[in-house]
Amino acid sequence: MDEKLKRKIMLFYAGGIINALLGLFVLIEGLSFLPPDTARTLGIIFFVFAAVDFYLPYSLKQRWLANNPGKQEQGSDPVQRP
């Protein structure tokens, strides 16, 4: 797989983790300084963005595999074949 694509996939995963953590923070600590409806809405928005950030790498990898049949990642097979 292309190094630029691997980097993009890793950035999406990092963004998803950050969004999930921000959503948890807003749901846990946001109630002390935000109205409950606003905190809930912001938490849901962060979790939706986190879900999108975890879905996009899957979609990118599936599209790459569909466009490049037979070009599986080198070294991803634990059993070495001659």
pLDDT digits (tens, 9 = 90+) for 29-76: 988 988 989 999 999 999 999 999 999 999 988 888 888 877 765 555
Task: Look up tokens 């599209």; give the residue.
Answer: 63
Give the model's pLDDT for residue 74: 57
pLDDT digits (tens, 9 = 90+) for 4-41: 888 999 999 999 999 999 999 999 998 898 898 999 99
Q: What is d(CA 15, CA 11) in angstroms, rounded to the nearest whole number?
A: 6
Overall pTM > 0.85? no
What are all long-range contacts of 2-5, with beta carbons under 8 Å and residues at least 24 apart? 2/64, 5/60, 5/61, 5/64
